[in-house]
Amino acid sequence: MRILYHLPLSPYARKVRLVLAEKRLPFELRLEKTWERRPEYLALNPAGTVPTLTEENGLVIPHSNTICEYLDEAYPDISLVGRTLGERVEIRAVTAWFDERFAAEVSRNLLYEKTMKPVAKRGAPDAARLREGYAALRLHMNYIGHLAETRKYLAGANLSLADFAAAAHLSALDFIGDVDWAAAPAAKEWYARIKSRPSFRALLADRVSGFNPPPHYADLDF
Amino acid sequence: MRILYHLPLSPYARKVRLVLAEKRLPFELRLEKTWERRPEYLALNPAGTVPTLTEENGLVIPHSNTICEYLDEAYPDISLVGRTLGERVEIRAVTAWFDERFAAEVSRNLLYEKTMKPVAKRGAPDAARLREGYAALRLHMNYIGHLAETRKYLAGANLSLADFAAAAHLSALDFIGDVDWAAAPAAKEWYARIKSRPSFRALLADRVSGFNPPPHYADLDF
Ligand SMILES: N[C@@H](CCC(=O)N[C@@H](CS)C(=O)NCC(=O)O)C(=O)O
Ligand SMILES: N[C@@H](CCC(=O)N[C@@H](CS)C(=O)NCC(=O)O)C(=O)O
């Protein structure tokens, strides 16, 4: 069986779950408490981060982008990385924007401080980081709204990996109640479309002990 | 003309320069002082980071991994991302290891503190960061040596993007005299092979005002 090692609130693992579900590839989810640094897991992924995917044939695939590129090459029927060279550039660039900039400026400051730090027993959330994270989130929501107003999907006319990368980060923040949807109507309209896809259902059913998502989290009509 | 916006000591820009030279694709280098945040450059790459590549046909490609994947698809004669699915997974995973882990643990602490901070007028190097960077560099050199002893190149039997990603980071650190080659003979043997490739010559000729590389920097027989 295909196995995905994950943490429920990891945006990178969520992105891969969405891609697997869009491609209708069955898989088993396995919780990996990365802070325990299990030697068996480090042997699969020396960075010790989630996600890692293992295939039935023994192939071990660490790192979310490596996994997404692999899945698009191994199961090309439903492609999420684009067809033309230009489309592929835009999709990869927007995906990297979310996985690097949004991650460093927003997810690192809010999600990590509020969820990973307490769980991994690394101290209390840092107030300055939270402030920085909220300020950056407002700018990023405007940018998402701007993209959503000028194109049908975040990287162009077609649904792509870039939408799932962005939605993965936002869904984890939405789980902890940090997204002010009322202030970002264009971003909300785009997110509502992604969130109502069948591939999103499993994410909306996630429960994490110690956290209660706000009522709108799993509501498709939020 | 193809243009690469870069900074001479950026490991990500160096990786792309190596890939372009390996593929024998002519290009013009253009210095981009990222800290000036030029609006014309931000229009090409909203993250404001180097590298960005622009093609003669108008295609704008920001972000080093997006550029490398694009170059391998657009100019596949000399492929650096591998042939089989398994090779491609390993090459992308090892490349990400250097561009994320090595970057965060070593390059961020040494290269950024010593070169980018003074040039961008962001204050003096932080002593704790430097200590952390040197300690991490020793571990990473051992890991590179371990890889180089168990396989011909860092991601397997063939030369690949992973070698250029690693060599790009190391070459920038070597420029500022931070690599203790004597303590890492296996890593040194591998690096000597990469460094003697014709694609490396332009990097070895780099001069950066305010920095004097150690004599061994450009010496192929160091
Ligand atoms: N760039 C990596 C990042 C993965 C990552 O940072 N995952 C986090 C969870 S969101 C993690 O596992 N952190 C645990 C740790 O750093 O020890 C990817 O895309 O897979
Ligand atoms: N992941 C990006 C990282 C690029 C990056 O961080 N570049 C640095 C130089 S090594 C930079 O431009 N920094 C300037 C800034 O952050 O303003 C890539 O691979 O292109």
Q: What is the pLDDT of residues A155-201, one digit of tens each?
A: 999 999 999 999 999 999 999 999 999 999 999 999 999 999 999 99
Residue A5 above 90 pLDDT?
Answer: yes
Residues A88-111 have pLDDT tens digits of 999 999 999 999 999 999 999 999
Q: Is the ipTM of this complex over 0.85?
A: yes
Model confidence at A118, in pLDDT bands (50, 70, 90)?
confident
Give the 3-state secondary structure of A73-125. HHCCCCCCCCCCHHHHHHHHHHHHHHHHHHHHHHHHHHHHHHHHHHHCCCCCC
Query: Average pLDDT over chain A, rounded to whole?
Result: 97
Q: Is A63 in Cβ contact with B70 (below 8 Å)?
A: no
Q: Which CATH architecture has domain B85-197?
A: Up-down Bundle (1.20)
Give me the residue from B62, B89, B101 closest to A93, CB to CB: B62
- What's phi and psi for A211, nearest 5 deg? -130, 135
Task: State the pLDDT at residue A202.
Answer: 96
Minimal CA–CA distance to B217: which of B185, B161, B189, B179? B179
pLDDT, tens digit (0-9, with 9 covering 90-100), for A15-73: 999 999 999 999 999 999 999 999 999 999 999 999 999 999 999 999 999 999 999 99
pTM passes above 0.90: yes
* Cβ-nearest to B70 among A47, A69, A85: A85
CB atoms within 10 A of CB B105: 17
pLDDT tier, A9 (very low <50, low <70, confident <90, very high otherwise): very high
Taking a C-beta distance cutoff of 8 angstroms, is the pair A45, B100 a contact? no
Select the residue from B34, B44, B49, B63 to test the A interface by mutation, using most A Cβ atoms within 10 A: B63
**Do B73 and A65 make contact, defined as CB atoms within 8 angstroms?**
no
Q: How many Cβ atoms are within 10 Å of B208's Cβ, its own excluded? A: 14
Task: Determine if ligand 2 sits within 6 Å of the CB of residue B6.
Answer: no
A211, A175 contact by CB (below 8 A): yes
Cα A203 → chain centroid = 10
pLDDT(A210) > 90: no
Q: What is the pLDDT of residue B145?
A: 97
Which ranges of chain B would DSSP assign to H, the alpha helix? 11-22, 39-44, 64-74, 85-96, 117-119, 127-150, 161-175, 185-195, 201-204
What is the Cα–Cα distance from A32 to A53, expressed in whole angstroms? 12
Taking CB atoms and an 8 Å cutoff, what residues of chain A touch B61? 89, 93
CA A125 to chain centre: 21
Cβ separation of A97 and B65 shorter than 8 Å?
A: no
CB distance A34 to ligand 1 below 6 Å? yes
In one letter, which amino acid is B177?
A: G
Measure the CA dihedral B201/B207/B213/B216, to 10°: 20
d(CA A188, CA A178): 14
Return the structure tokens found at B31.
């210095």
B92 to A69: CB separation less than 8 angstroms, yes or no: yes
Distance from CA of A174 to the nearest CA of B (A): 24
* Residue numbers of chain B with a pLDDT score lower than 70: none
**Per-residue confidence (pLDDT) for residue B120, from 0 to 100:** 87
pLDDT value, residue B209:
84
Residue tagged 């480090």 (tokens): A42
